[in-house]
Amino acid sequence: MALVETTSHDSATRPASGGGLIRRLLLILILIAAVVFVVWKIRQNKASQAVEADKTAAAAARPVAVQVAPVAKKPMPIYLTALGSVTPYYSVTIKTRVDGQLMSVNVREGQAVHKGQLLAEIDRRPYEAALAQAQGQLAKDEAAAKYNTDEASRYNSLYEAGVVSKESAQTQTSNAGQSTGTLVADRAAIEAAKVNLIYTRITSAIDGVVGLRQVDPGNIVHAADTNGLILVNQLQPITVVFTLPEDQLPQVLQLMHSGHELAVEAYDRSESTHLASGKLLTIDNTIDTTTGTVKGKAVFANQDDALFPNQFVNVRLVLQERPDAIVIPAAAIQTGTEGTFVFLVKPGPGKQDSNHSAPAAKADPEGGKVQSHVEVQPVVIDVTEGSQVILNSGLKAGDSIVVDGQEKLKDQSNVTTRQATGGKNGPSTQPIAPDASKGGKGKHGAAPDSLDAPQSGGQPAGKQGHPHGQGAS
């Protein structure tokens, strides 16, 4: 009975042992597959990283397109900047000095007039009549005066003969004296009538230009009217009134008191176009306490009428001239942890690619551009004047520096250079050779002009206004 039970128990446990073995085998296969997948994934990631690294290296070695400008050695003015408004040298509001009807306006609006030229006429007939009346009164009073003088002479003779009293003789003498005074008053009235008659012809008090007519012919005008008939402004010469901070006043006064005639340059609202050159006329005698500024006045010949009354201008008050200043565009200036620097263009590829590139500069077959590289060159700024910077050290005349495209550069980066002209048609697309930046001749001929010749708008050639160079000064 016991044997039968044992046999039944063994047959029941065999299927259970076979099922556990299968599960263990499946688990082992899953673990092996997971290990194989992890190893494959790691190797694939390494291959992708290697490809990306190669792409990054290739991108880093690819030349960066930049715009360059040469370093200039030229005379450079040191000036103060100010905001100014153009004012006429003289401004006269023409008004009538007598009442009457405006008969005619003898000039056109906008016409240039000379001092003493007839501008308008008032009805002169009432004043001619007043003059005739005064002259008639003078004639009447002259006759009366003659009679009173003769009468006084007779009474004096009679008084000496004892015929009339002394009182009667004195009365006649007094009447003769009053007649003399009346004659003086009559002659004065005639002169006044003549002056009023002259005032009916309104003439210009200055040389200038007539503005818009305020009153038309036919209207009745009065000497007490608030508005005038015509405004005449003298535009040649013309003045500009500007303001300077009181902190800058001592150096200006020092130069004025030493006998220097300070030059003044006027530019348009955008400070890109030079309008006129003049000289400082005077400085006001009072500082405005509300703004802490003092007014100055400059005079300009204005022969070309570039300046116009109430025109807004940017003023540059020139204090001195630097004869041989090293000048670069402000857009080239960069700042870093080690100070101020620029990217200096050098011929040939950078050192980072020296094992894969030829030692000399070679042309890009696609665009025909000359490949160069840049180096970080520290500079010391002396003075910043608008869009130009005067350096104390760091560069020499003829060096080529980057003025646009610095955000993609680092030391020894390869670049392809295009000359920045700053003209009306934008930067030039003509490539330049690296050795042209040294002042010699490159593969495209003569080296490009430096910043020596300002453009017609007063800005130096090569100014591109890149944002990375604006805060360096």
Same domain? 244 vs 118:
no
- Model confidence at 338, pLDDT cuts 50, 70, 90, reads confident
* Residue 273 belongs to domain with CATH number: 2.40.30.170
Domain boundaries, position 139: 124-199
Q: How many CB atoms lie within 10 A of CB 456?
A: 10
- Model confidence at 36, pLDDT cuts 50, 70, 90, reads confident
Does an H or E element contain 139, and which? helix 125-161
Same domain? 163 vs 136:
yes
To the nearest whole number, what is the mean pLDDT of the chain?
A: 81
Same domain? 296 vs 336:
no
Cα-based distances in Å from 442 to 23, 214, 369, 370, 446 = 80, 66, 12, 10, 7
Question: Is 192 a residue whose pLDDT tops 80?
Answer: yes
Residues 6 or more apart in contact with residue 421 via CB below 8 angstroms: 427, 428, 461, 462
For residue 310, the number of C-alpha atoms closer than 13 Å in the C-beta half-sphere is: 2
Q: Is 426 left (phi over 0), alpha (psi -120 to 50) or beta?
A: left
Same domain? 175 vs 208:
no
The whole-number average pLDDT for the span 156-162 is: 84
* Residue 179 belongs to domain with CATH number: 1.10.287.470
Does an H or E element contain 329, and which? strand 312-329
Q: Is 241 left (phi over 0), alpha (psi -120 to 50) or beta?
A: beta
- pLDDT value of residue 59: 61
Percentage of the chain with pLDDT > 90? Answer: 50
* Residue 446 belongs to domain with CATH number: 2.40.420.20
Same domain? 286 vs 398:
no
Q: How many CB atoms lie within 10 A of CB 32?
A: 10
Question: Is 47 a residue whose pLDDT tops 70?
Answer: yes
Taking the model in full, what pTM does it have?
A: 0.60
Query: What residue type is 342 in one-letter code?
Result: V
The whole-number average pLDDT for the span 138-158 is: 89
Higher pLDDT, 95 or 451: 95
Lowest mean pLDDT among 207-221, 234-248, 300-314, 357-371: 357-371
Q: Answer yes or no: is 12 within a domain.
A: no
The whole-number average pLDDT for the span 419-444 is: 42
Question: Is 454 a residue whose pLDDT tops 80?
Answer: no
